[in-house]
Chains A and B, each alone.
Chain A
Amino acid sequence: MKNVDLFDDYLNNHLSVEEKLNFEAQLNSDVVFCKAFNEHKLVVDALTLNAQKIELKKKLQTIHANEFGNEAKVISINSTFFQRYGKTIAVAASTAAIVMVGSLALLTAQKNNSNQITDLKRDVLALQSTKDAIINEIGKTNSKLNYAPANLEGSAFALNNEGYIITSWHMVNGADSVFIQNNTIERTLAKVVLCEPSLDLAILKIEDAELIKNWQVPFAFNDKLSEIGEKVFTLGYPRKDMVYGEGSLSSLSGFYNDTTMYQISIPVNPGNSGGPLLDEQGNVIGVVRGKITNAEGTGFAIKTNEIIKAISNFANDSNVKDVTVYSKKSTLKNLKRTEQIKRINPYVFNVLVYKRD
């Protein structure tokens, strides 16, 4: 019997009274044995504490997501803030603009340094545009023709030519309605057809068949594991316009050793969730999931092979049979990045999620 097994039996209380006494006697008399045992115990304790911490952290993340939402909070704070204070801000901004124009006039009259004047002008213009933006914002929230701001926004992308798209489960969890939009598709309803909370994945379907009749998904889904150091890029909607991010694959596992994820060196922001992670050839290798808060420029993405596995399970378990991953070869190989993005663009979406409070 190896010492390690003996240590484990002792720690797990599997020894008989006599064995236990012998064990303790040896601890007292044999220094090497004692040192080995203490090291073993240190490792076992650290293992338990680490596991406890991971579990507690997960619990707190869930509580946080349930109670405060992730991205939801920021957006709702903003919109109520504008509703409440928008007018005051607009008035304040225009007052500031008048003051600035006033001092600009004064400076012009004095024919002072012209550089300074251009600087000031730029400020006034900037201020004016902020003011306009604020007024537009107020116009939007007041006008009945415009849509109410969503509770949550994020990203999604096409899974196949049948109008199925993939996004993060945490986005659509508890949603009343989900809409998608991008440059080519105007705001349209998407139905949540399947969920895999353990991977934080959800599959949506675009309801309007007319919109997808010409779909030719340009990227392929690569189920082979990618390698550390590979150049990768993301596309997503952290704001109203699509944003591109590039970097490399920095680890084959995610937060807390999670082997279902990659770590990437691309700064991702709220709203990137659910967007695609692609390699240089334009293969989808993951779905952007989140980031570590205290590490700069680090993101996580769920691996494509996990997604494919989950989807084949879906197909077995549910009545939604036509969800498959588009896996033909990527038509983006050897294209310039700008060209790749142009072709991918129509298949990446801004997701707008509405929830009842």
Chain B
Amino acid sequence: MSKPKLQFTDSQFIDGLRTNSNEVLTALYKKYYNIVLKLIVSNNGTQEEAQDIYQETIIIVFENVKKPEFELNCQLQTYIYSIAKRLWLKQLKRNGKTFLFKEGEEEEVADVTNDLSEHFKKEDNIFKMNQSMELLGEPCNTIITDFYVLKLSMDDIAEKFGYTNSDNAKTQKYKCLQRLKKYFFEKQVEHELN
């Protein structure tokens, strides 16, 4: 009954992530989940916290792998483990929990400081944007997303929202964007407090 399992090498994983292969992403996700789960659960975390940390880890791996200068200096497993460990330590520290950290099977930990500090810098902006977009509400949220993310034309947007012409839509988008910028630049980085 069991299906033959597809095994990828580290470089196949990396190539697959670079080309946005869903198959590779799924296989990668499946392969390393248990390592991270074990790490978190044996260090005061719940299964759900493990899931969250693991997904954040995969997002960081995905981000970094896509950089042209990315080079893997250790096994992919060690890399993933190291990132997950750092993220989890950060979260524990934020929650004011300190205790002896129990290492998993993966004891060799790679140095991921650079990869992470870049990520955290970017993450602050993403977080601020996420909160600003929440404040922005509808229909602005959709108009902004349609234009800047989905790259719809002003004509499309005018039609979608029932504006009489694309200039009206443009004015509306302008107002929305001004408001978004205001939220974004005034926003304190609140998540450090959480």
Contact = CB atoms under 8 A, between A and B. Distances in A.
A49 B55 contact: no
A105 interface: no
A142 interface: no
A257 B62 contact: no
Interface in A1-42: 2, 4-5, 8, 12, 39-40, 42
Contacts of A243: none
Contacts of B46: 293
* Range, interface on chain A: 35 or more
A57 B148 contact: no
Interface in B128-158: 128-130, 133-134, 137-138, 141, 144-145, 147-149, 151
A14 B29 CA distance: 39
B193 to A, nearest CB: 12
B174 A2 contact: yes
Contact of A293 (B48, B129, B147): B48
B114 interface: no
Interface in A42-73: 42-51, 53-54, 56-57, 59-61, 63-64, 66-68, 73
A47 B29 contact: no
Q: Which of B30, B49, B126 has the most CB of A within 10 A?
A: B126
Given A39-B181, A63-B26, A73 B47 contact: yes
A50 B133 contact: yes
Given A50-B129, A51-B149, A257-B141, A294 B55 contact: no
A8 B49 CA distance: 40
* Range, interface on chain B: 35 or more
Contacts of A44: 148
Contact of A12 (B52, B144, B151): B151
Given A43-B184, A49-B125, A256 B130 contact: yes
Contact of A42 (B26, B125, B134): B125
Contacts of B91: 294
Q: How would you classify the secondary structure of chain A's contact residues: helix, strand, loop or mixed?
A: helix
A56 B134 CA distance: 19
Contact of B52 (A47, A259, A293): A293
B184 A46 contact: yes
A74 B50 CA distance: 13
B177 interface: yes
Contacts of A4: 174, 177
Q: Which of A53, A54, A61, A68 has the most CB of B within 10 A?
A: A53
B47 A60 contact: no
A109 interface: no
Contacts of A48: 148-149
B133 A257 contact: yes
B26 A43 contact: no
Contacts of A330: none
7 contacts: A39-B185, A43-B184, A44-B148, A54-B130, A60-B25, A66-B26, A294-B52
Interface of B: 22, 25-26, 29-30, 33, 46-49, 51-52, 55, 58-59, 62, 91, 122, 125-126, 128-130, 133-134, 137-138, 141, 144-145, 147-149, 151, 170, 174, 177, 180-181, 184-185, 194
Smallest CB-CB A-B distances: 3 pairs: A46-B129, A293-B52, A293-B48
Interface of A: 2, 4-5, 8, 12, 39-40, 42-51, 53-54, 56-57, 59-61, 63-64, 66-68, 73-74, 253, 256-257, 259, 293-295
Given A54-B130, A61-B55, 4 more contacts: A40-B181, A43-B181, A48-B148, A257-B141
